[in-house]
Structure 1
Amino acid sequence: MIILSTIAELRKAVVNAKSSKQSIGLVPTMGYLHEGHLTLAKNAREENDVVVMSIFVNPTQFGPNEDFESYPRDLERDTKLAASVGVDYIFAPSVEEMYPHDGGIYIRAGRQAQTLCGASRPSHFDGVLQVVAKLFNLVQPDRAYFGQKDAQQVAIIQTMVRDYNFPVELRVVPVVREGDGLAKSSRNVYLSSIERMQAPVIQQALQIAKLELMDSGDVDQALAQATKIIEDNTAGKIDYLSILTYPDLKEVDENSDQILLAAAVYIGKTRLIDNLILSLKGERIHA
C-alpha cells in the first residue's frame, strides 16, 4: 500500500490505473477508521481493481464551534487498518494541498440540506459536496462507497451525482453496528463509560418508532414514543427526531413509499446520529 500526500502523486496513480484499464473504487473518509470504514473498503476491494481511500479531515464541513481541531487523527493506525483490508492507495493531503486557493466559487447543497443535520449545521453539506466533488474529479473513480449511517449525506451526494452528471456509481453500504446496536462512528471514542452505555438507546428508540409506524401509521405517535424512550433512558439532549421521505427528505404523506427515521442526539458533548430506512409497500401513513 502506498500513501499519497499530494495531488500530483494521486494524479499519477490514477493515470497509471486508467492506462491499464483498471477500475477504481474510492472510499472517502475523515480517518480514525472503524469497522464501518473497513466494510466500505472491503466492498470496494471486491468490486474494483484499484482501491483508493482518502483520509482527510475536511475543514469546510465543520462549523465555527464544532470539533475540527479535536477530531481524532491517527494516520499510522489508519494505514495499518487500511492495509489489512486491501486498500492500494491512501490519499492523505494537507488542508493547504486540498485548498490552495479560494476563488469564491462554492457548491450549495440545496433544499435537502435544510433539514435534519443541516438545520443546525447550515454550511455542513456545502463543505461535504465541495470535498466530494474534488475527490471525484481527482480520483475519477468508477465506484464510490458511502455508509448508510450518513443517510442525509448519501441522499445529497446522490442528487449531486444525478444533477451534475458525475460519471461515478455510488455504492451505499448498510450501517455497521456494535453488538449492542450502536452505530459505529469515529466520535464514539469521545463517550465516557456511562455515556457509552446510554448511546444504544438511540437505535432502540428508532426501532420502537418503526414498530409504531408499521402498526398505526401515525407519524406523530411514532415520534412521541421515540422521544420518550430517549428522554427516559439517557441524559441526552435530542437535536432532532424526524420521519421523512427518502431520498427526497420531504414530509411524509399517504402516498409515501420509502421513508427515513432519523435521529441526532447529544450524549454528553458527543453528537451521535443514527437512522432506519423503511419501505412501506402501500401501507398508509398518517402525517
Structure 2
Amino acid sequence: MLHLSSLSDIRRHTEQLRRQGQRIGFVPTMGALHEGHLSLIRAAKSQNDIIVCSVFVNPTQFNNQEDYRLYPRLPEKDAQMLAQEGCDVLFSPLAEEMYQHKSKLSFDFGELEQVMEGAHRPGHFNGVAMVVSKLFHLVKPHQAFFGQKDLQQFAIIQQLVLDLSFDLELVCFPIIREEDGLAMSSRNRRLTTEQREAAPQLHQALQLLRTQLQTLSVSEAKREAEAFLGRFPQIKLEYLEVVHAQTLQPLHEIAADVPVAICLAAFLGEVRLIDNLLL
C-alpha cells in the first residue's frame, strides 16, 4: 500500500492513474477505523481498480474544540487495517497543508442544514463541504463511498456534487452495527463501560419509534420513544426526528408514497452519538 501525505503527491498520483485508465474508488474517513469503514473499502474494491482511503481529522467541521482534541487517532493501526483489506493508497494529509490559506469561501445548503445536525452544530456542514471539495479535487475519484450513519452529511454531499458538477458517483452504504445494535462509530471508543452498556438503547429507541409509527401519530410515537430513552440516566437525548428521507425536513404525518427516515443524536457523558433508520 502506498502512503502519501503531500497534496501534490496525491494529485500527481491519481492523475497518472486516470491517464492509465484505472477506475478510482475513494473512501474518505477521519480514521480510528472499524468494520463500518472496512465495509466501504470492500464495496469500493468490488467496483473499482484502485482504492484510495483518506484519513484526516478535519478541524473545520468541529464546532467543539474539545471534541476535536479528543477524537481518536490511531494512525499505525489504521494503516495496518487498510493494508490488510487491500487498500492501494492511504492519503493522510496534514491540516497545515490542507488549510495553508485561511478559507474565505462558505457554503449554504439552505433547509438541508437547518435541521438536526446543522441546527445543533453550527458551521459543521460548511467544514464538511470544504474538506470534501478539497479531497474530491485532489483524488479525482470515479466513485466515493460514505456510510448511512451520517445520513444528513450524505445529503449535503449529494447537493455539493450536484451544485459543483463533480464528475463522480456517490454511494451510500448501510450502517454496520455491533451485535447489540449499536451503530459502529469511532467515538464508541471513548465510552465508559457503563455508557457502552446503555448505548444500544439508542437503536432500540429507533426500532420502537418505527413500530409505534404503524399505529400512532408522529408526535405520539416520538413521545413514546423519548419516554423510553428517559429511563436511562446515562443518555441525554439531543434530538429525535421523523423526517423525509431525501429532504430531511420534519414530517408531521406519514404518507405511503413518502420515504421516511428516523434520526437521533444523544450524549452519553461527553460522547455524542448519532443513529438512524430508513423506513
> TM-score by structure 1 length?
0.93
2:68 corresponding residue in structure 1? 68
> What corresponds to 1:285 in structure 2?
none
SS at match of 2:226: helix
| C-alpha contact (below 8 Å) 1:25/1:51 kept by paired residues | yes
Q: How does 1:117-128 map to 2 (within 5 A)?
A: 117-128=117-128
Q: Tell me the matched-pair count.
A: 277
CA offset digits 1:196-226 (Å, max 9, x no partner): 000000000000000111233x111111111
Alpha-carbon deviation of 1:61?
0.1
The equivalent residue for 1:197 is 197
Partner in structure 2 of residue 142 of structure 1: 142
The one-letter amino acid paired with 2:260 is I
Alpha-carbon deviation of 1:119?
1.0
The TM-score normalised by the length of structure 2 is 0.96
Structure 1 residue runs of 4+, over 3 Å off?
Answer: 253-256
Unaligned runs of 5+ in 2: none
- Which residue does 2:77 correspond to in 1? 77
How far, CA to CA, are the matches of 1:165 and 1:8 in structure 2?
23
Q: Per-residue deviation at 1:57?
A: 0.3
Separation in 2, partners of 1:277, 1:103? 35
Contact 1:52 1:90 in 2 (8 A): yes
Asked if residue 272 in structure 1 is aligned to residue 267 in structure 2, the reply is no
In the alignment, which residue of structure 2 is the partner of 1:283? none
Correspondence for 2:207:
207
Distance 2:66 2:242 in 1: 26
Retained in 1: the 8 A contact 2:6–2:93? Answer: yes
Structure 2 residue 272 is matched with structure 1 residue 263: no
1:108 CA displacement: 2.7
Equivalence for 2:97: 97
Asked if 1 retains the 8 angstrom alpha-carbon contact of 2:115 and 2:249, the reply is: no
The corresponding residue for 2:234 is: 235
Paired amino acid for 2:70 = S
Contact 1:113 1:119 survives alignment (8 Å): yes
Question: d(CA) in 1 for partners of 2:254 and 2:195?
Answer: 38
Paired letter, 2:234: A
Match of 2:25, SS state, is strand
In 1: Cα distance, 2:153 partner to 2:89 partner: 24
Identity %: 43
What is the distance in 1 between the residues matched to 2:67 and 2:109?
Answer: 21
Q: Aligned partners of 2:154, 2:144: CA distance in 1, in Å?
A: 11
Note if 1:12 corresponds to 2:15: no
| Alpha-carbon distance in 1 for matches of 2:200, 2:166 | 37
Compute the RMSD of aligned alpha carbons.
1.3
Contact 1:114 1:122 in 2 (8 A): no
8 Å contact from structure 1 (residues 28, 146) kept in 2: yes
Distance 1:240 1:27 in 2: 28
Q: Following the alignment from structure 1 to structure 2, what is the Cα–Cα distance between the partners of residues 107 and 93?
A: 23
Secondary structure of the equivalent of 1:232?
Answer: coil
Shift of 1:106: 2.2
